[in-house]
Structure 1
């Protein structure tokens, strides 16, 4: 779709009363742009162009690709999904005049790893697979466990995020491009029919170019984002049980060996326990996280999880409609994610050209009898643009 250029009212931008003498001088002189006339970049890598502009007091900037506006900032940050040639144009307008510079971009094809190449952080909440996926050994630190999570995801093995709030932060060797109208990526999980363990997905672009996930995060607003039972800014605190804690078994269901195993409280006045079961005997509290663990994020409703059998033998957790990790099976198209679903902290849509980092956290605080707590598992990420 063509976008027509509309210049802001310069009178509003160039308040004469606030201008210095140098600004007044600049306003009477046309801007001058200095920028390379040709550049090269690889597909799925950020193109960064920082032109020098003289006499730019109160300037308005527009970058065009053909007739499409791709930026209104002086410095360009852009990414291409396909190889080829692109002709870009920078227009700078002030009260002193207008300047135009054309830049020819050669976009070269490059092959990438279609999966996780870096794990920046890994903190599971208590759960039946915590300390097992990946395995923790006494004395191992946060850095060591993050490295183990990275090793597992590079191999396509699963890591468990435990109960609500447990998370992993992943990176790639390229930018996942926001190709409009398409599913852009998929977070691999181990969901199966009638048992989903939805994880909240957040995304971030490496705007500052330092290769670290320290730019703003945006949440993928899945189908439940605006549901009245979804809790935003939820915080939970887990407390490590004493080594000599006396178990509280469930007399009706012997596979539940301790129903008051790990106590938790939240910022909504709630409290409860993570239960322990007979299938997993190791400690469920992450061994390297001290005596207390505080986690936060969006919490999804869990009122659709129920005992379908009525006897405790068959619990179901139906998949949510769209927009989550470990929700639909990996073979189901509905497990795909669109970057255009991203929203800011106020729930407003954001326009991201691409993303470089993905964070996933377990979205529910719920249990399913002998199946244990709802715990999102992550087995990697697939860039669907590279299919």
Structure 2
């Protein structure tokens, strides 16, 4: 019995000493000369140095409202002003708080696309025309041509399923309450050509669209007819058809064990395969069942919400809420803002009257900016 008591005493003493040896976190934040200052709608990132951080939890607050629970601070401010920031680090040894002030400057931004990072359309009837391409063009020269169009709020085509464009802005588009932006297209009543919208923010702060992408989960995202991780390969024709029309023009195969052809119509006589691409072109994404149907004439009614070139630009249903974003596993994500947008054609459908259903992009509107 005596031995048991002694052993318990040793355990309790050791536990008491271990707890006493844990010190409260020590916080060090290097403040720039003149204090922290940032323009509105730009990311402010702060990386504090924390000693004694074993088992620590963190909390950042802006004007008393919690904004982050990570070791590093990351925020984008919608309005100019002076903001009090508080950083709290807590462990078993205690709690340490660091408070400082951030000045957010006012700035005027351009409410449009300011840069195109990549342009890769799928085959279609407006390819090599919108924008104009020649056989001497490359991926880079076509990127520049797409950028010239979109920065002027002029239209480009994405062609058939999977064709895409990636673009950015001179500011961060903030995720506020309600809808945040519109991708401009040329949709009108019963003439939707929906494009899926992907969003990303500059997590690595390098100014490039090379961070994780999130899909805007529109009205079709969870439907049984939607195919995730769809993949299609287009094959360049050996030669252009001699006839004005050709139903079996550009062959395609997909990962659903289907094959078919993109037809050539009499209205567009140029090559429908991008001049600057090789013999095949493989594109991937989420596939949505087309609404194309023939009534008295061919129509393509709009999806309910969440896509580009789906409703007219002035219709509230064309507006996008960043809060609809989901990750690759379909889980909702909470993004404070986005710096990059990617749009790709979600459909593979065509008819003999109007040709293939192809998404067009004609600009961008940030609803935070008047």
TM-score (norm 1): 0.88
Structure 2: distance between partners of 1:241 and 1:345 = 34
Structure 1: distance between partners of 2:258 and 2:79 = 50
Structure 1: distance between partners of 2:73 and 2:19 = 27
Counterpart check, 1:212 vs 2:201: no
Counterparts of 1:111-260 in structure 2 under 5 Å? 111-180=108-177, 182-243=178-239, 245=241, 257-260=245-248
Structure 2: distance between partners of 1:342 and 1:26 = 46
Contact 2:19 2:92 in 1 (8 A): no
Counterpart check, 1:289 vs 2:277: yes
Taking only aligned residues, the RMSD between alpha carbons, in angstroms, comes to: 1.5
What CA deviation, in whole Å up to 9, does each residue of 1:10-48 have, x standing for no partner?
A: xxxxxxxxxxxxxx7996222111125641111100011
Counterpart check, 1:378 vs 2:365: no
What CA deviation, in whole Å up to 9, does each residue of 1:339-360 have, x standing for no partner?
A: 0000011111000000000000
Aligned to 2:309: 326
**SS in structure 2 of the partner of residue 216 of structure 1:** coil
After TM superposition, the structure 1 stretch with the greater mean CA deviation from structure 2, 68-77 or 288-297, is 68-77
**SS in structure 2 of the partner of residue 349 of structure 1:** coil
**SS in structure 1 of the partner of residue 144 of structure 2:** helix
Contact 1:27 1:55 in 2 (8 A): no
Aligned to 2:22: 28
Following superposition, the deviation at residue 78 of structure 1 comes to: 0.4
Over 4 Å off, 4+ runs: 24-27, 244-247
Aligned to 2:252: 264
Distance 1:374 1:44, change over 3 A: same
What CA deviation, in whole Å up to 9, does each residue of 1:75-119 have, x standing for no partner?
A: 111011111121111000112211100121111111111111111
After TM superposition, the structure 1 stretch with the greater mean CA deviation from structure 2, 361-370 or 351-360, is 361-370
Structure 1: distance between partners of 2:111 and 2:326 = 25
Contact 1:306 1:368 in 2 (8 A): no
**What runs of 5+ residues in structure 1 fail to find an aligned partner?**
1-23, 250-256
Aligned to 1:355: 338
TM-score (norm 2): 0.92
After TM superposition, the structure 1 stretch with the greater mean CA deviation from structure 2, 261-270 or 35-44, is 35-44
